[in-house]
Amino acid sequence: MEELAWFAGIATCVKLLLIPSYRSTDFEVHRNWLALTSSLSLSNWYSDETSQWTLDYPPLFAYFEKFLSIFARLVDPKIVNLHQGLNYSADSHLFAVAAPVYFVYLLRHYCRGGFVRSIGRFVMMGMAVGVVFAVAFGPFLYYGQIQQVIHRMFPFGRGLCHAYWAPNFWVFYIILDKGLAFLLAKLGFNIQAPAASFTGGLVGDSSPFAVLPRVTPLATFMLVIVAISPCLFKAWRNPRSGMITRWVAYAYTCGFLFGWHVHEKASLHFVIPLAIVAIQRLEDAKLYFVLSIVSCYSMFPLLFEAKEYPIKVLLLLLHSLLMWSGFTSQFNKNSSSKTKAEPVQRGKSDAKMAKGRKTDEDGGVFVVGWFGTSYLLGLLGIEIWGQFLQPYLLGGEKLPFLPLMLVSIYCGLGMVYSWFWQLRWIIKCS
Amino acid sequence: MMEKKRGRKTMKDFDVDEGWLLHGGRGSSFLCITIFALLVRVMVSLHPYSGAGDAPKFGDYEAQRHWMEITLNIPAREWYHNGTSNDLSYWGLDYPPLTAYQSYVHALFIHYFHPESIALFTSRGHESPFGKLLMRWTVLSSDVLIFFPAVIYFFIAYYASRDKKQQDMAWHLAMILLGPCLILIDHGHFQYNCISLGLTIGAVGAIISKNELIACFLFSLALNHKQMSAYFAPAFFSHLLGKCLRHRNPLLRVLKLGLVVLGTFFLIWWPYLYSIDAVKEVLSRLAPFERGIYEDYVANFWCTTSVLIKWKRLFTTQLLKLFSLSATMLGVLPSMIQQIRAPSDQGFLYALLNSSFSFYLFSFQVHEKSILLPLLPASLLALEEPLLFRWLTYFALLSMFPLLCRDHLILPYVALFFLFVLIYYSPDGRLTVKRENSPVAWKKSVMTLLLLCSLLLHLMYVTLRPPVKYPFLFEAMIMLLSCSQFVILAVYSNMKQWMLLKSSTWMEKEKKVL
């Protein structure tokens, strides 16, 4: 507990020091929302178009901004940058992806034993959810704005990819399309260059793809549902509390991989729950070690300013080092205490193992392995290419998007691997 | 394969009692601390520098930038000479030649990326985000290339003969690398103290590992980077003299060391050795006696007592020079005698602290930032004297608070202060802090009271406006409080150094009896 508070304190100091670098677009976005929620009446929140950064998070977030804006007005406008750290504490439409899992789990968990009781519980639960939603969306419904709210929250009007390509499944789809178009053109087919861009959204009826079929929001939605289904099935069959984190993480991963207009930042939603899983099993820890580095690295293009460069690199280095020493101590302690304790007091060590929820038998030490190591070294190679070699060899103007594309593709490989691995584990584990 | 090997090695090293942060071998925890120290420096460098946007004189940042402009564009002979292209009244060079060379090297770097920020004449008061970034990177790279390796060298030398727990070593490293004062001055305010202090640490490491010739070379470099390094000179001199006297051939030994010092000086001063006048010209730039015995509100003896005795009004500068020289020498004498009589590594570290304290308190023209010099040996002694180091850091920070306030560095000041306290009381390093001989109750309450006073002064300085009659009332109060603490700490560390002598002679006697 004391250690936890200590780390929280250190992290707070680091965040305090980082305040001057908060003037990002996101800062501007949030500042605009603050101004919006504090100066306009509720009925206009979702229809204001004065700035390009329109409000596109659900109502709870809008209330949160309103809440902050009260303080902002009281103290000093400058104090408000502090809320950047809270960025993730309140965004909720991304959580919609995980909702089915929670729902099935809760349903099954609560509704066991007795049909009447289960119905009662179900109604109670439904009411709880309903009340939250009613409080959140109610005022907008009252003002007849609900269409506007839903339109803003699910940005199907935007493109398949965010301005920076998130490293997900669609990156490979796009690359495949480009590759095929190139090949077919070489073979003599007449391939028309697509009129629309991937990030620009659905401009008229033109498809951004040259060869492959066009991806619609509905298709991405269906793919996400299909990808989540094994996990939903498992949750329905056997709702175990020990697995809920893993399932939620998996659902987020699916949403990230196959979703429409996914942002790189969304990978945090499954990396954080996976961290909780990681300390329980050695195999998960190994996977998490690589995955969290990949996820962190995939966000590098977001912090593009030169003054931020050393910070992000050092933070990632420090993060990996701490993770490495944390995992080695966690698992090597377990394995060494097991070997030490075994001859004399077996019972005690068993109790310790049970307490640590350590289920695997191998009891190995934490090593990243040659596969993970070479993958991470590749990451280093891509960074060196993008930052130093390409500007030096090709000059600043040629192929400006190549480094970003490389980052997306390479990180996408890691993400897909992680997804596949999680899926295998979920299917295997009964 | 390599990974496996490493895994096995950590298994062997593993000790159940150690915290997880320190697990994974000595290397990884030290690396963590080093990377974190670097990260903190980078983050502080995001904040404003001294004199940002404050025309027409700006501040230390502009001074350093201007020196780069001068050293890049005019020949070395004219760097210290007032001329048509070098106006010495506008931030003229007032550090020894090594600083000028360092400016030249950094100027080459900046010229490559952003020539307009150091162009002759046209770049006066140049301020741009990219220019700032490049300037910040020159400090960061100096820190990484000089201060960090020097600290590691010191560590290897210092712990070669000692049997210390890994926790203690990691804590000590964090204390040296994450000292808030040096980071705030170098990466916030903007200076290159990391170079001269790094060279000094290197020299200390060389002395501990018995490489006296290297020590002389490194310390001469430090002296030639900032003349303030002379604060440590009595300690180096007396320690080396004491050792030479115990040598088989003392005269030859002294000759060797002297030759190294002279040789280094000769090399560095080469461009000015063509005439006596040129040397005199440089020297006159280094010792600005016309500025008076003190400036602003520095927490040393002269400035603090000037509340009662108006030194500047009562005495001529000539007389004051004599006063300050004799007071400084008197303050240094006890620790010098101790080191000549019984030179030891531990005593040497105390001597460094005592001589720099004496210079800070009594010498002529001391700046607030010079408290960094006593802080350096105090940080090297942090494991033996945790309480002294903590106390000195608190009040060194307080004494520099008005300066850092002017630079708009309150935010990093607060963050680094809490970071320091957190790391000092880190869960893994608690063993060390326990050794901070817990003082008796009345001392404890006095200390708490003093800390409360310090906190109150911080708050008053930021929020209240001083009375019109005494516009510098808060500065004076901060100065009084800090100075009183420095005096107490200086007396204490002098006593400790002499107690070392007693205990060592006592031990020798014991040995003889046995």
Task: Say if CB A331 and CB A366 are below 8 A apart.
Answer: yes
The predicted model gives A357-377 an average pLDDT of: 69
- pLDDT of B487 reads 96
Flag whether pLDDT at B100 surpasses 60: yes
- pLDDT of A33 reads 55
Query: A-contacting residues of B 16-55, CB under 8 Å?
Result: 16, 19-21, 23-24, 28-29, 31-32, 35-36, 38-40, 42-44, 46-47
Chain A touched by B177 (CB under 8 Å)? no
The residue type of B265 is F
What is the share, in percent, of chain B residues with pLDDT greater than 90? 65
Dist. CA A321–CA B21, nearest whole Å: 10
Give the model confidence (pLDDT) of B259-316 as tens digits.
999 999 999 999 999 999 999 989 988 887 777 788 778 899 999 998 888 888 888 8
Dist. CA A407–CA A300, nearest whole Å: 9
Dist. CA B2–CA B215, nearest whole Å: 38
The predicted model gives A41-60 an average pLDDT of: 51
Rounded (10°) angle between helices A244-258 and A217-237: 170
Chain A touched by B11 (CB under 8 Å)? yes
CB contact under 8 A, A6 and B427: yes
- pLDDT of B257 reads 95
Question: What residues contact A337, with CB distance under 8 A and at least 6 apart?
Answer: A349, A352, B16
* pLDDT tier, A170 (very low <50, low <70, confident <90, very high otherwise): confident
The predicted model gives B117-141 an average pLDDT of: 92
Chain A touched by B427 (CB under 8 Å)? yes
Rounded (10°) angle between helices B372-380 and B345-362: 160
CB contact under 8 A, A311 and B36: no
In a domain, A235, yes or no: yes
Q: Measure A372 CA to nearest chain B CA, in Å.
A: 11
CB contact under 8 A, A6 and B426: yes
Flag whether pLDDT at B492 surpasses 80: yes
Instruction: Give CA separation, B335 vs A319, B232, B233, in Å.
Output: 45, 12, 12
Question: What residues contact B287, with CB distance under 8 A and at least 6 apart?
Answer: B227
In a domain, A408, yes or no: yes
Residue in this structure with the two tokens 């020590």, named with its chain if needed: B215
Residues of chain A with a CB closer than 8 angstroms to some CB in chain B: 2-3, 6, 9-10, 12-14, 16-21, 306-307, 310-311, 314-315, 317-318, 321-322, 324-326, 328-330, 332-333, 336-337, 365-370, 373
The range of the structural domain enclosing residue A250 comes to 169-333+366-429
The predicted model gives A288-295 an average pLDDT of: 87
Give the model confidence (pLDDT) of B226-273 as tens digits.
999 999 999 999 999 999 999 889 999 999 999 999 999 999 999 999
Dist. CA B233–CA B240, nearest whole Å: 11
Give the model confidence (pLDDT) of B67-92 as tens digits.
999 999 999 989 998 888 888 888 88
- pLDDT of A114 reads 40
Higher-scoring residue by pLDDT: A88, B215: B215
In a domain, A150, yes or no: no
Flag whether pLDDT at B13 surpasses 70: no
Dist. CA B495–CA B497, nearest whole Å: 5
The predicted model gives A266-283 an average pLDDT of: 78
Flag whether pLDDT at B352 surpasses 80: yes
- pLDDT of B506 reads 54
Give the model confidence (pLDDT) of B28-63 as tens digits.
888 999 999 999 999 999 999 998 888 788 889 999
Shortest CB distance from A329 goes to which of B20, B140, B422? B20
Chain A touched by B322 (CB under 8 Å)? no
Give the model confidence (pLDDT) of A384-408 as tens digits.
888 888 878 877 677 777 888 888 8
- pLDDT of A13 reads 83
Query: Which residues does residue B366 pair with via DSSP β-bridges, in sequence order?
Result: B294
- pLDDT of A89 reads 31
Q: What is the mean pLDDT of chain A?
A: 67
- pLDDT of A342 reads 41
- Considering only A51-65, B186-200, B403-417, which range has the smallest mean pLDDT? A51-65
Question: What residues contact B469, with CB distance under 8 A and at least 6 apart?
Answer: none
* pLDDT tier, A197 (very low <50, low <70, confident <90, very high otherwise): low
In a domain, A1, yes or no: no
Flag whether pLDDT at A356 surpasses 50: no
Question: What residues contact A248, with CB distance under 8 A and at least 6 apart?
Answer: A98, A101, A102, A273
- Considering only A303-317, B194-208, B425-439, which range has the smallest mean pLDDT? B425-439
DSSP state string for A3-61:
HHHHHHHHHHHHHHHTGGGG-SHHHHHHHHHHHHHHHS-GGGTTT--SSSS---S-HHH
* pLDDT tier, A26 (very low <50, low <70, confident <90, very high otherwise): low
- pLDDT of B225 reads 96
Task: Give the residue from B9, B43, B49 with the most A CB atoms within 10 Å of its CB, the best one to mutate.
Answer: B43
Q: What is the mean pLDDT of chain B?
A: 88
- pLDDT of A265 reads 73
- pLDDT of A252 reads 79
Flag whether pLDDT at B171 surpasses 50: yes
- Considering only A2-6, A237-241, B13-17, which range has the smallest mean pLDDT? B13-17
- Considering only A43-47, A317-321, B61-65, B335-339, which range has the smallest mean pLDDT? A43-47
- pLDDT of A161 reads 65
Flag whether pLDDT at A115 surpasses 80: no
Name chain A contacts of B40, Cβ cutoff 8 Å: 14, 17
In a domain, A54, yes or no: no
- pLDDT of A269 reads 74
In a domain, A123, yes or no: no
Region at B121 (left for phi over 0; alpha for psi -120 to 50; beta for the rest): left
In a domain, A199, yes or no: yes
Long-range contacts of B285-288 (CB under 8 A, 24+ apart): B285/B80, B285/B88, B285/B92, B285/B93, B285/B94, B286/B94, B286/B95, B286/B96, B286/B227, B287/B227, B288/B94, B288/B365
Name chain B contacts of A12, Cβ cutoff 8 Å: 418
- pLDDT of B485 reads 96
In a domain, A280, yes or no: yes
* pLDDT tier, A90 (very low <50, low <70, confident <90, very high otherwise): very low
CB contact under 8 A, A10 and B419: yes
* pLDDT tier, A299 (very low <50, low <70, confident <90, very high otherwise): confident
* pLDDT tier, A364 (very low <50, low <70, confident <90, very high otherwise): low
DSSP label of A136: H
Flag whether pLDDT at A167 surpasses 90: no
Shortest CB distance from A328 goes to which of B10, B32, B415? B10
Per the structure, the count of domains in chain A is: 1
Q: Measure A55 CA to nearest chain B CA, in Å.
A: 30
Q: Which two tokens stand for residue A147?
A: 């269409």
Complex confidence, ipTM: 0.82
Name chain A contacts of B426, Cβ cutoff 8 Å: 6
CB contact under 8 A, A9 and B418: yes
- Considering only A124-133, A244-253, B333-342, B418-427, which range has the smallest mean pLDDT? A124-133
Task: Say if CB B420 and CB B390 are below 8 A apart.
Answer: no
Dist. CA A362–CA A210, nearest whole Å: 50
Higher-scoring residue by pLDDT: A7, A338: A7
Across the A:B interface, residue pairs with CB atoms under 8 Å apart total 114
What is the share, in percent, of chain A residues with pLDDT greater than 90? 1
